[in-house]
A and B are shown apart, each in its own frame.
Chain A
Amino acid sequence: MKAGLTPEPKLRRLPRSPSLRGRLLPFLLEYNLVFIFLAIFVALSFSVRYFFTIQNMLGLALSVSQIGMVACTMMFCLASRDFDLSVGSIVAFTGILSATVINLTDNLWAGVAAALLSGAIIGSINGVIIAYLRINALITTLATMEMVRGLAFIASHGQAVGVSNADFIYFAGSSFLGISMPIWTTLGCFVLFGFLLNSTVYGRNTLAIGGNPEAARLAGIHVERMRVVIFMVQGLVAGLAGVILASRITSGQPNSAQGFELNVISACVLGGVSLKGGSATIAGVIVGVFILGTAENVMNLLNIDAFYQYLVRGAILLAAVVVDQQRTRGE
């Protein structure tokens, strides 16, 4: 094979502009969210009392731990050009299920197993409907969101299911090196799913499917099977978040985690995960989660009325997406 049969294009390169603006600006734009977040974080540390204290930092991390876990798997879901609205309902349902099972068996691990298993099953059902019956993910998970929330109310008769098992209360309350178990779990998820995304065929296939599903299929990726796995893992992690949340509040509550799915998706979008699929970074998702958590934390410290917090959260999301749009425009 003779290589290089066509001559190299004779395009004259212009001298690269040496100005600071020419190099610094693209760099800042590439990592804009990280920098903006760090700048705001430093500013808040100096301006808001009690913000930069160990106590408050741990509180902040704890408050976003459930969102953080599920954001990891939502990242996979969005990266494969899909969508999952059912996670909030799964968190509530698995919380109730684990509380009920623990009350029946008086065994913590039976409850955890029930939560993880049921989460994975609901996720798989989502995946099978979306991948094999080819129903739009938004519609499918909107339907399962309603149904699973209904199951949560039915299973609990609309009441909170209290748990008196000491192991269960200790489960999310335990800590190691002064950091509580939900935070460790979330950190573990960040490491695990970051690794999965970057270094495994599973992660790279997810990005390929999101980038072009048909091309991925014709290149020999089992697209349908991948989709089911992505949704199953999403359900599993939502189940984990559900049991941890139930343990933190020592009861399963059918009303808990309302709007949770939207917070998780917001965190991912804040972290630069493309809704068109095909691109995502774990660093971005971590920043996205912390932007959400920091905003809420600071507003609480400043005693801002909860009603205004919705307004601010929405505004932050909108601002981040507009900035991101500017960055990727013209690509």
Chain B
Amino acid sequence: MPTSLHLKEISKRFPGVRALDRVTFSAEPGSVHALIGENGAGKSTLLRILGGIYQPDSGSLLVGGTERHFQSAASSIAAGIAIIHQELHYVANLTIAENLLLGHLPNHYGLFRKGHAIRVAAGHLRRLGVDLDPRAKLRTLSIAERQMVEICKALLREAQIIALDEPTSSLSHHETEILFRLVRDLQNQGRLLIYVSHRLDEIFALCDACTVLRDGHTVATHQGLAGVSRAQLVEEMVGRKIADIYNYRPRPLGPNRIEVNDVTGKQVTQPASFAVRSGEVLGFFGLVGAGRSELMQLVFGAARPRSGSIKLDNQLLRARHPVDAIRRGIAFCPEDRKESGIIPIRSVTENINLTARQRGGMRGFFVDFRTEFKTSDGFIKRLGIKTPHRRQQIRLLSGGNQQKVILARWLNLPNLRVIIMDEPTRGIDVGAKHEIYNLIYELAERGCAVIVVSSELPELMGIADRMLIMRDGVITAEINRTDFSEHLALSLALPDAVEAN
């Protein structure tokens, strides 16, 4: 039974912070309603209130016209609401069938009826148009497929309102297409979908309406996105005009800084060669799993190359460990900030000084806290890192500020020559993105060679001087800035595309 959703004047306070201030949100069945805003704008809090995890301090929540007070996640589920979180909850070692039916597995006096479960699950999957084998274990599936299983689970509970929180953040282009198809099917069945995303392209491609949050307030609600421009949404999210978030600045290029010759690794199956000039921003585009990240790790000494050689300023670079690469002035900002970038429970200042202190005074034995504090205070001010004080644990900062801390770690090196950034703006809001792009130009202007790996094509088209395309472990093409086109880059990066050249 199709159901509408109305949130009226919802407020929620946490100690010291007003997370939501009289937020209003309305959506009708059969629509896909986007919910956008920068990090910390209140999107997650709103979803948690909808999911019954938080209780609002004031305001009312109407599902299908009747007022509801969810006291727990269970009461929200019972009202036909499903929230698909960014981090999925599943049992990796159980099959799709078991995951779908978990909690009420078909049994005969306690004996699991496996065949029956598989038949029931297969029926459900078929009905939803999902082509997956119910006997497959979850850990063998791609992230997109796991997400589909999660959505199926919501549908089995007859959810009429489905909220998706950043569903495409770890999906490839192809997987995103599949997800979009499923979302449209659900919409046609008369369900109400709430779509939370940072990616405005997706919003325009998929959504009928859009609500913008900023600092816990509803800034705007657009019914129909036909007359709304991208710039307008950005302005509403950020609260001021950003004419062009890329703000590309051309600059003179110097001689080759780094040359990679015929390097191969586990995923880089064909010899890869490229060079980056001093002052150049080189973009690396390709789908997730195309070997981009591994190639960067090979250059940085974080993975073992099978063959090939690397030259830095015309001298052979033998990096068997990141220590060697760093000593020669190569820096690396890893793809997954939380997993391999930050030391979560240590302070901002420790995270900034981590690398520099390895070769500090007294042969790197004693820590020179006075200099370190001066350094970190300087970077906090210069990069606009938002933190109450330098001793704050870094995990409590937003993604954009964490990324700035990692950049500060490398900017602190006196001999920085090459900086490799793998997905530098993933999960970061527009304002911080803009600042990071400016930092990239600044580094290039200082004579660094900058390599930016990204799955966001508009980003690379916005900031790079030149782009290399990778596909299935092979560098397939090189495009100069004057020839940049979305169509060309995509056709070269997609695995099933016909050779464009």
Binds A, one of B10-18, B53-61, B141-149, B250-258: B10-18
Contacts of A216 in B (CB 8 A): 343, 354
Contacts of B321 in A (CB 8 A): 222
The answer to whether the Cβ of B381 comes within 8 Å of any Cβ in the partner chain is yes
Min CB gap B451→A, angstroms: 15
Is the CB–CB distance between B354 and A278 below 8 Å?
no
Closest to B334 in A: A218
Q: How far is the CA of A279 from the CA of B149 in the complex (A)?
A: 38
If the complex has contacts A200-B365, A200-B366, are A1 and B357 also in contact, measured as CB distance less than 8 A? no
The one of B38, B326, B346, B365 that contacts A208, using a Cβ cutoff of 8 Å: B346
B-facing residues in A234-293 (Cβ within 8 Å): 278-279
Q: How far is the CA of A211 from the CA of B409 in the complex (A)?
A: 17
Q: How far is the CA of A12 from the CA of B20 in the complex (A)?
A: 11
Q: How far is the CA of A211 from the CA of B341 in the complex (A)?
A: 11
B-facing residues in A178-231 (Cβ within 8 Å): 199-202, 204-205, 207-208, 211-212, 214-222
Closest to B333 in A: A218
Contacts of A222 in B (CB 8 A): 321, 323
Contacts of A5 in B (CB 8 A): 384, 431, 434-435, 438
Which of A207, A214, A218 has the largest number of chain B CB atoms within 10 A?
A218
Is the CB–CB distance between A7 and B240 below 8 Å?
yes
Q: How far is the CA of A214 from the CA of B341 in the complex (A)?
A: 8
If the complex has contacts A5-B384, A211-B345, A278-B345, are A218 and B340 also in contact, measured as CB distance less than 8 A? yes
A-facing residues in B299-334 (Cβ within 8 Å): 300, 302, 321-323, 326-327, 332, 334
Q: How far is the CA of A204 from the CA of B369 in the complex (A)?
A: 11
The answer to whether the Cβ of B367 comes within 8 Å of any Cβ in the partner chain is yes
Q: Scoring A residues 1 to 35 as 1 if CB is less than 8 Å from chain B, else 0, what string do you get?
A: 11111111111111000000000000000000000
The answer to whether the Cβ of B238 comes within 8 Å of any Cβ in the partner chain is yes
The answer to whether the Cβ of B276 comes within 8 Å of any Cβ in the partner chain is no
If the complex has contacts A199-B367, A218-B332, are A11 and B215 also in contact, measured as CB distance less than 8 A? yes
Min CB gap B467→A, angstroms: 25
Contacts of B340 in A (CB 8 A): 212, 214-215, 218
If the complex has contacts A6-B238, A14-B13, A279-B345, are A220 and B366 also in contact, measured as CB distance less than 8 A? no
The one of B322, B343, B432 that contacts A278, using a Cβ cutoff of 8 Å: B343
Closest to A203 in B: B367
Is the CB–CB distance between B355 and A219 below 8 Å?
yes
Q: How far is the CA of A10 from the CA of B239 in the complex (A)?
A: 11
If the complex has contacts A1-B439, A1-B442, A6-B435, are A218 and B384 also in contact, measured as CB distance less than 8 A? no
If the complex has contacts A3-B381, A202-B365, A217-B322, are A208 and B350 also in contact, measured as CB distance less than 8 A? yes
The number of chain B residues touching the other chain, given as a range, is 35 or more
The one of B40, B360, B364, B367 that contacts A9, using a Cβ cutoff of 8 Å: B40
Which of B18, B344, B345, B435 has the largest number of chain A CB atoms within 10 A?
B345
Is the CB–CB distance between A14 and B15 below 8 Å?
yes
Is the CB–CB distance between B343 and A218 below 8 Å?
no
Closest to B215 in A: A10
Is the CB–CB distance between A201 and B326 below 8 Å?
no
Q: How far is the CA of A128 from the CA of B302 in the complex (A)?
A: 19
The answer to whether the Cβ of B342 comes within 8 Å of any Cβ in the partner chain is yes
The answer to whether the Cβ of B104 comes within 8 Å of any Cβ in the partner chain is no
Contacts of B358 in A (CB 8 A): 201, 205, 220-221
The answer to whether the Cβ of B339 comes within 8 Å of any Cβ in the partner chain is yes
The answer to whether the Cβ of B126 comes within 8 Å of any Cβ in the partner chain is no
The answer to whether the Cβ of B220 comes within 8 Å of any Cβ in the partner chain is no
Is the CB–CB distance between B239 and A7 below 8 Å?
yes
Contacts of B434 in A (CB 8 A): 5
Contacts of A219 in B (CB 8 A): 322, 354-355, 409
Q: How far is the CA of A12 from the CA of B442 in the complex (A)?
A: 35
Min CB gap B43→A, angstroms: 14
Is the CB–CB distance between A204 and B383 below 8 Å?
no
Contacts of B108 in A (CB 8 A): none
Is the CB–CB distance between A6 and B432 below 8 Å?
yes
Contacts of A279 in B (CB 8 A): 345
Q: How far is the CA of A279 from the CA of B343 in the complex (A)?
A: 11
The one of A2, A200, A202, A205 that contacts B438, using a Cβ cutoff of 8 Å: A2
Q: How far is the CA of A200 from the CA of B344 in the complex (A)?
A: 20
The answer to whether the Cβ of B382 comes within 8 Å of any Cβ in the partner chain is yes
Min CB gap B79→A, angstroms: 28
Q: How far is the CA of A200 from the CA of B345 in the complex (A)?
A: 19
Closest to B327 in A: A220
Q: How far is the CA of A11 from the CA of B350 in the complex (A)?
A: 27
Min CB gap B304→A, angstroms: 14
14 A-B pairs with C-beta separation under 8 A:
A1-B383, A6-B431, A8-B386, A199-B366, A201-B365, A207-B350, A208-B343, A208-B354, A215-B339, A215-B340, A217-B322, A220-B354, A222-B321, A278-B343
Beyond the given pairs A1-B383, A218-B322, 15 more chain A to chain B contacts, judged by CB atoms under 8 angstroms and listed by A's residue number, are A5-B384, A8-B386, A9-B40, A11-B18, A12-B17, A14-B17, A208-B354, A211-B346, A212-B343, A215-B334, A217-B302, A220-B323, A220-B358, A221-B354, A278-B343
